[in-house]
A and B are shown apart, each in its own frame.
Chain A
Amino acid sequence: MITKRQFLQSGVVGTLAASVPALANGFANGLVSVPGDVTRVLHDTRFPASLALAGSVFMARNVSPVTGDLTSLWRDTLMGSWQQQAITAGITGDDVLFCLTQFSRDYRLRVHWQTEVSPAQPDRNIPALVAWLIAPASQSTNIMNEVIS
C-alpha cells in the first residue's frame, strides 16, 4: 500500500515549500520520494509551473495534461487506467482534484494524500494548486476494478 511518505514527505514540503519551484527542488534534492508504481501523473495546463514540475520530476512516467475540464482526459485515458486501479499522482487545480476524488470512489480508489501548493486567487478566478496521490482504497478491498472490466 502506498503511503504518503512514499509519495511525498508532506511535513517537509508542506512547511518549507509554498511555491511550485520549491516543491520541485524538494523532489530534486531527495527531500521527498515518489512511489515507483505511480503509473500516471497529471499536470494542469492552467498552471505553467505544474507542467514544469511534472516534466522535471515525473519524466519517466506517463504524464497527461488536464485543463479545468477533465471530460476528455476522463473519457480517453483515466477511465481505462482506473479500471486497472492504476495509482495516479497529480499537480492540478483543486477543482480538478474534487472531480477526480468523486470518480475515484467508483473504482475503490481514494485520495491518500494531498497538499496545497499555492492558494486560490479569488479575484483572478484561479483555483488553488494542489499536489495529490490517488491509490486503491485499501489492499483488502482492491476489487472494484471488476465492476467495469
Chain B
Amino acid sequence: MRYPPGVSQEDFDRAVGEFEAAIGADWVFTDEADVDLYRDAYSPLWGEEEEKIPSIALAPQSAEEVQALMRICNAYRIPVYPVSTGKNLGYGGSAPVLNGSVVLDLKRMNRIIEVSEDNAFALVEPGVSYFDLYNYIQERGLDLWIDCPDPGWGSLIGNALDHGVGYTVNPYRDHFEAHCGMEVVLADGDIVRTGMGALPGAETWQQYRWGFGPWLDGLFAQSNFGVVTKMGFWLYPAPEAFRSGTVQVMGYNDVHELVRVTARLMYSGVLNTNAGVQSPIQFVLGQNPEMAERYDRAGAEDIRVLDEFARSIDTPFWASQFKFYGPREIVDQSWEYVKRQFAHIEGVRFQDQESFNFPMPYEELMQTQDENHLGVPSMSVFQLGNRSNFNPTGSNGHLGFSPVVPMTGDAVIESNKVLGRVLREMGGSTVFNVPPYSYHQRTFTILVGFTVTRDADTNRKTREIFRELVKVAAEHGWGEYRTHTAFMDDCAQAYSFNNHALLRLQQRLKDAIDPNGIISAGRYGIWPKHLREDDDNA
C-alpha cells in the first residue's frame, strides 16, 4: 500500500480501518494494481518521478458516506482528491495534483434523482455520465435534449465543474452556466445546498439559481473548496429543426468584417451557438514557403499577393460555419438573415450544409456530420485515430493549450502569428491546431494540441513548450480557460494582477473553508497554507 505525504503510517493505517468501517472494506482500494487504475492515461509526466499517483482510492455511494470519509480525512489531515467519473482526459483524468492523495471516486453515486420534462431540468449525482442521462431521457421518451462534450463517457458534474463545454445553444452549451443548484460536502463533513436548495423543501432548487444572499456556486468550480455531491442542470427542450451553413470570404483582410458581423449576430441573439473562423487557405500556404513567409510578414504588398494567390486557386482565405436550432421557419429565416448581413463583403460565398427535422432515428443521428452537435453523446471523437481524431498513430494521448482571445479579426491574426512563432522557435510539433472557436459566449478560444508519449524526453520538451506558450500568451493578455493538472500552477500564476491578488484571495478562502488543506491540494493553483512554498501570499 502506498502512503500519502505528511501522514504517518500508523495514522494512515488507522484511517484505512475507519474508511472500511464507514463505507465497507470492498470499497476501499489499497492494492496497487487497483489504485493504478487511477493513473492519468494522458499524463505528460508518465513514468517520471513527478507523475501523480494516488495512495489509495475510496468509492462511497452516498453523500452521507462522503461526509463520513471527509470527517476521517480531516481528523488525520489526509489529502483527498475527488473525481466524478475520472474521464477528464487531457486535463488530468483521475490522478491527483498532489502525489499520494487519496482518490475519492464518486462514480458509484450515479443516481439520476429527477428529470422534469415540463420545466426542463435534471438533478444528478457525480457518477452520472452523459450517456446515462441521454439513455434515461430516450428510454422515457422525454422531449428534451442534453448538451454533451465530445466523448460521452464523462460526468455532467465533473465536466461542468471544470468549465467544460458542448455544442448546442446558449445557455446549455456552457455546462457550468447551465447548472442550477448544488449540494456540497465541505472538508469538515458539513453539507450545504446552494441557491434555493438552502430553503428546506424548496420547490425551485433547479429553477432559480441565485437563492438569497451571496451566490457561492462559483467557489466550487475549478477549485478545491468542497465535494459536489448533487447538481442541477437546465436541459434544452428538443428543437424542431436544425440547419447549418458556411460563409466564405476571399481576402486576407476580410477576416475583420467576418468576425465583426459574427460577433454582432451573437450578441444580438440571432446566433446562439458556437462559431469559429477557419482558414481554408492555410493548408495550401503550408505547402508554399514563399506564401507562408508573406503570410507571416503580412505587409501591404504581401497581403495583395496573398489575396491574388487565393483567388488564383479559388480558395477562400477565411470561412465560418453557422448553426441554427429551433422551429423550422425560424432556422430557415435566420440563415437567410445571416447571409444578408454578410452580403456586402466582396466575393462572399454561402454554402448550405445540413438540414434536419426532429425527432430523428438514432441510427440517422449517428450518420450526421457530428452527432454531438445534435445532443447525442458518443465516442466517435476517438474514431479516426489513436486517442483522438487528430492523432491517428503512435502517441499516448494529447493535451491542449487553450487561451481565450477576443472575438476580433485582429486577435485571430495576432494569436495565430504569436503562438505559431513560439512553436517554430522551440521546435514544437502540434498534433492539432483548432482555429479560433467560440466555446464560450463573446470570446474565441484557441486550441493547440500536443501529443503525449511514453518517452520522458519528448514529454519534457512538450512541457517546456507548453509553459512558454502560457507565458507568451499572458504577455499578450490571453489566459487559459482550463488546463491539465501538470500546468495549473503555471496558468494560475499568469493571472497576476496586483501581485497575484486573486490567487491570494483564493488562498485565504481555502485556508478558511478547508483549514487543514485536505481537499485537492494544488488544484487550479490553489495550495493550502502548509504546502505553499512562498507563504507571502497567505
Minimum CB–CB distance from A142 to chain B (whole Å) comes to 10
User: Given that A98-B386, A106-B107 are known contacts, is A137 also in contact with B34, CB under 8 Å in the complex?
Assistant: yes
Q: Interface with A: B25-33, B43-51, B295-303, B321-329, which one?
A: B25-33
- Which residues of the other chain, B, contact A72 by a CB distance below 8 angstroms? 366
Q: How many A-B contacts at CB < 8 Å in the complex?
A: 90
Chain A count of residues within 8 A CB distance of the other chain: 36
- Which residues of the other chain, A, contact B379 by a CB distance below 8 angstroms? 69-71, 74, 99
B394 touches A147 (CB 8 A): no
Q: Interface with A: B83-91, B113-121, B163-171, which one?
A: B83-91
B517 in the interface, Cβ–Cβ < 8 Å? no
- Which residues of the other chain, A, contact B392 by a CB distance below 8 angstroms? 95, 120, 122, 125-127
- Which residues of the other chain, B, contact A148 by a CB distance below 8 angstroms? 110
**Nearest neighbor of A121 in chain B, beta-carbon distance:** B393
User: Given that A72-B366, A102-B87, A122-B393 are known contacts, is A141 also in contact with B34, CB under 8 Å in the complex?
Assistant: yes
B153 in the interface, Cβ–Cβ < 8 Å? yes
Minimum CB–CB distance from B138 to chain A (whole Å) comes to 10
A95 touches B34 (CB 8 A): no
CA distance in complex: A127, B392 (Å)? 6
A62 in the interface, Cβ–Cβ < 8 Å? no
Minimum CB–CB distance from A79 to chain B (whole Å) comes to 8
From A71, A98, A108, B387 is in contact (CB under 8 Å) with: A98
B378 in the interface, Cβ–Cβ < 8 Å? yes
CA distance in complex: A148, B366 (Å)? 25
Minimum CB–CB distance from A42 to chain B (whole Å) comes to 14
CA distance in complex: A101, B387 (Å)? 11
A56 in the interface, Cβ–Cβ < 8 Å? no
CA distance in complex: A143, B110 (Å)? 16
A68 in the interface, Cβ–Cβ < 8 Å? yes
A67 touches B34 (CB 8 A): no
Chain B interface: which size bin?
Answer: 35 or more
- Which residues of the other chain, B, contact A138 by a CB distance below 8 angstroms? 31, 33-34
CA distance in complex: A6, B251 (Å)? 64
Write the A118-136 contact mask toward B (1 if CB under 8 angstroms, else 0).
0011100111100000000
From B131, B382, B393, A120 is in contact (CB under 8 Å) with: B393
From A71, A95, A102, B386 is in contact (CB under 8 Å) with: A95
B456 in the interface, Cβ–Cβ < 8 Å? no
B37 touches A69 (CB 8 A): no
CA distance in complex: A40, B387 (Å)? 23
Find the residue from A99, A101, A105, A108 having the highest chain B CB count within 10 A.
Answer: A105
From A102, A108, A125, B385 is in contact (CB under 8 Å) with: A125
- Which residues of the other chain, B, contact A75 by a CB distance below 8 angstroms? 131, 135
CA distance in complex: A141, B129 (Å)? 23
B41 in the interface, Cβ–Cβ < 8 Å? yes
- Which residues of the other chain, B, contact A101 by a CB distance below 8 angstroms? 41
A110 in the interface, Cβ–Cβ < 8 Å? yes
CA distance in complex: A127, B382 (Å)? 11
Minimum CB–CB distance from B383 to chain A (whole Å) comes to 4
A68 touches B87 (CB 8 A): no
CA distance in complex: A74, B377 (Å)? 12
B37 touches A127 (CB 8 A): no
- Which residues of the other chain, A, contact B31 by a CB distance below 8 angstroms? 138, 140-141
A113 in the interface, Cβ–Cβ < 8 Å? no
A143 touches B26 (CB 8 A): yes
CA distance in complex: A93, B378 (Å)? 18
CA distance in complex: A147, B85 (Å)? 12
CA distance in complex: A94, B152 (Å)? 19
Could you show 6 A-B contacts with beta carbons less than 8 Å apart?
Answer: A69-B379, A98-B41, A101-B41, A102-B87, A120-B386, A125-B392
List 11 additional A-B contacts (Cβ < 8 Å) besides A102-B153, A103-B153, A106-B85. A71-B377, A71-B380, A74-B379, A102-B41, A105-B37, A110-B33, A110-B37, A120-B392, A120-B394, A141-B34, A144-B59
Which residues of A come within 8 Å of B, CB atoms? 67-72, 74-75, 93-96, 98-99, 101-103, 105-106, 108, 110, 120-122, 125-128, 137-138, 140-141, 143-144, 147-148
Which residues of B come within 8 Å of A, CB atoms? 26-27, 29, 31, 33-34, 37, 41, 59, 85-87, 89, 107-108, 110, 127, 131, 135, 152-153, 366, 377-380, 382-387, 392-394
